[in-house]
Amino acid sequence: MADILEWTTTEAVRGALGVTDNEVPDSFLLHQNMHLQLEHDLDSWFPLRGDLDDGDDADIKTLRGLRLYSMWFCAALTADMWLAFPQRISDGKADLRRFTALDFEELSLRAAAKRDAYRNALDPNPPETNLIPHVAGAAPSYDPVTNTES
């Protein structure tokens, strides 16, 4: 088990994904520079995390959320690397085979959804999302098919 910054561990990331250290070893996770990716991400939206005090009751809840966010952030990164999950592991005696119906894309989406849920809970100013920017900016009296004003 190795730390990924001070917020999570490789063991927690594997636990979130339901894999073992034989399947996804620490060396694999650490060589992906997850600590840099996590730090870069946190710097973009939570730069004051170093000011949190683990003795302050209000900060304890934030620290817990930050640890959970970090775990799911790294789990989502790992889940996106589908080839990291061997389908079969064998040492000659024991043999492990993954379920054939395991949907790695679904696993990745679920990990990202957990990550996003914890970020939304932590981020006091979440980015606004405009799902339909082109429609929102269109004039309602203009018909783009006939290129006429009504």
Tens of pLDDT, residue by residue over 20-56, are 888 888 998 889 999 999 999 999 999 888 888 888 8
Instruction: Say which residues have a Cβ less than 8 Å from residue 127's Cβ, sequence separation at least 6.
Output: none
Average pLDDT of every residue of the chain: 82
Could you count the other beta carbons within 10 Å of the beta carbon of residue 53? 11
Of residues 20 and 68, the one with the higher pLDDT is 68
Would you report the helix, strand and coil content of the chain in percent, each value rounded to 5?
Answer: 55, 10, 35
- Give the three-class secondary structure for 69: helix
Task: Count CB-CB contacts under 10 A for residue 57.
Answer: 7
Among 9-13, 93-97, 133-137, which range has the highest average pLDDT?
9-13
pLDDT band at 108 (very low <50, low <70, confident <90, very high): confident
Q: Which of 130, 107, 129 is nearest to 120 (CA)?
A: 129
**Domain count of the fold of the chain:** 1
The dihedral through the CA atoms of 134, 139, 140, 145 has a sign that is: negative
Instruction: Return d(Cα 24, Cα 18) in angstroms, integer.
Output: 10
Its domain, for residue 67, covers 3-149
Q: Give the mean pLDDT of 8-28.
A: 90
DSSP 105-146: HHHHHHHHHHHHHHHHHH-SSPPP--S-HHHHTS-TTEETTT
- Per-residue pLDDT at 86: 62
Of 132 and 95, which is predicted with more confidence? 95
User: Which among 93, 91, 75, 1 is positioned nearest to 38, based on CA atoms?
Assistant: 75
